[in-house]
Amino acid sequence: MVAKLRIGLAGLGTVGTGVLDLLARNGNEIEARTGKKLEVVAVTARSNSRVRGAHDLSGLVWAENPQALAVHPDVDVLVELIGGEGDPAYSAVKAALAAGKSVVTANKALLAHHGGELARLADANHAGLYFEAAVAGGIPVVKTLREGLAGNQVSRVSGILNGTCNYILTKMADEGRSFDDVLVEAQKLGYAEADPTFDVGGFDAAHKLAVLTALAFGTEPDLKSIEIEGISHVTLEDIRNADAMGYKIKLLGVCADTGDGIEQRVHPMLVRKGSPIGEVDGVFNAAAIHGDFVGDLMLVGRGAGAHPTASAVLSDLCDIARGNRVPAFGVPGAKLKPFRAAPAQTHAGGYYVALDLHDRPGAVAAIAQRLAERNISIESIVQRAPQTAAETAPFILTTHDTQESDMRAALSQIEKDGYAARPPRMIRMERL
């Protein structure tokens, strides 16, 4: 008789149903590859409906709550697809690990807030904590960092980590539509929530970046150290200006070892058209990794959705079935280093700046002077004729690499000088 891996499934939403779909379609192939039959034996969900799509679940154990499911004697492994940094997901995962049961989770918020604690709990009880599905959907970025690049010193990870933002920015660029207009469409299509703040504010990408940083550098996840900026302030004019200069605007998450600490940031950036990451459009995600021996790697794929995310969940379940247990973040939990942040605003790079200047003599010279005072070198300038109604002239410039602290100080002084009708808009440029 073939041995079984008995799965307790907490959460029967989009991804949970996707897991059932995958097991129903590919269960025989998975059994052949792992030597075990992967079988969902118990579930829990908000709704007690015994039917999910084409799946009749009436013959399964229905646990009263996720924590009860986690310690159920018939369950070998808990698959947590509830979401959220706190309970019930947090208590259920802790209960399973404390009982020596491995956990597979897609919960990036839980890991960003409690990843170190849970990794140590897993180690102490000889259990595994797996989370391929928590970052970038079906893209195997977790295994790549944790296992595929175990022989490398990783110095930098950057990527498009939120499909909603990438979809909105792509549509704005391709169809010449405003942020608000495309956001409404994204909500109708199910790409954005009714309250889209978590996505468009950059917070979803930040949770994922915290996990990637811990994997890349062997540190405790540290969400609070991430500089976060969303895309709601990006205008159609900014996107058109970027296009005219040969760039696209993308929301990127970046973590890098600066030698003086680790830099973590999420914000819109100008990337060159034709660059690998610049050509990742729509709802797709991407992760670019630099290792000292492997060089540059680029992973691209669907970052969300029932089946891509279910594929990542099953990848982890197959590892458990094969007996492949590795430390959650690549090193034992007890050896995760305290996170040490790079000094604030030490980022060096190029910048795009958009100004609406009053049509007055000396405005451009005054701006050039303020930049020169901070040793900021201008790379390119685009100046347009005044808009008749507003009597302002769009003035766009890009800079060579400079310190962010100098750039912000110069823009602050430019705003005080009174030549600009509105505060300057600044977007970083990424040399990818």
Using one digit for the tens of pLDDT, what is the confidence trace for 234-285? 999 999 999 988 999 999 999 999 988 999 999 999 999 999 999 999 999 9
Whole-angstrom distance, CA of residue 297 vs CA of residue 141: 10
> Max Cα separation, the chain?
87
C-alpha separations of 341 from 79, 157, 371, 403 in Å: 33, 15, 28, 17
In the block, tokens 């039917």 appear at 51
Q: Which CATH class is domain 3-138+311-335?
A: alpha beta
The predicted structure's pLDDT at residue 363 = 86
DSSP state of 195: S
Q: Are 155 and 256 in contact (CB under 8 A)?
A: yes
C-alpha separations of 288 from 255, 296, 303, 332 in Å: 11, 7, 14, 25
In 3D space, the residue among 367, 370, 363, 417 whose CA is nearest the CA of residue 386 turns out to be: 363
Is the peptide bond prior to 73 cis by the omega test (within 30 degrees of 0)?
no
In this structure, CATH architecture of domain 348-429: 2-Layer Sandwich (3.30)
The predicted structure's pLDDT at residue 34 = 96
C-alpha separations of 309 from 81, 92, 106, 304, 422 in Å: 10, 21, 8, 6, 43
Q: Supply the residues annotated as catalytic.
A: 208
The predicted structure's pLDDT at residue 50 = 63
What are the pLDDT tens digits along the chain (432 aa)?
679 999 999 999 989 999 999 999 999 999 999 999 999 999 998 877 766 666 888 889 999 999 999 999 999 999 999 999 999 999 999 999 999 999 999 999 999 999 999 999 999 999 999 999 999 999 999 999 999 999 999 999 999 999 999 999 999 999 999 999 999 999 998 888 889 999 999 999 999 999 999 999 999 999 999 999 999 999 999 999 999 889 999 999 999 999 889 999 999 999 999 999 999 999 999 999 999 999 999 999 998 889 999 999 999 999 999 999 999 999 999 999 999 999 876 677 899 999 888 878 888 889 999 999 999 999 988 876 655 555 788 889 899 999 988 999 999 999 998 888 889 999 999 876
The predicted structure's pLDDT at residue 390 = 59
Whole-angstrom distance, CA of residue 117 vs CA of residue 432: 35
Dihedral sign computed on CA atoms, order 338, 343, 345, 349:
negative
Query: CATH classification of 147-301 is 3.65.10.10, yes or no?
Result: no
- Residue ranges per structural domain of the chain: 3-138+311-335, 147-301, 348-429
DSSP state of 153: -
The token pair at 161 is: 């980590």
Helices (H), ranges, 219-352: 236-244, 306-322
Non-local CB neighbours of 13 within 8 Å, separated by 6+ positions: 45, 81
The predicted structure's pLDDT at residue 388 = 55
The token pair at 4 is: 């079984």
**18 burial via Cβ count (<10 Å: 0-12, 13-18, 19+):** buried
Helices (H), ranges, 46-124: 66-70, 89-98, 108-124
Q: Are 11 and 299 in contact (CB under 8 A)?
A: no
Non-local CB neighbours of 231 within 8 Å, separated by 6+ positions: 165, 168, 169, 179, 200, 202, 251, 268
The predicted structure's pLDDT at residue 65 = 95
How far is Cα of residue 209 from the mean position of the Cα atoms in its chain?
5
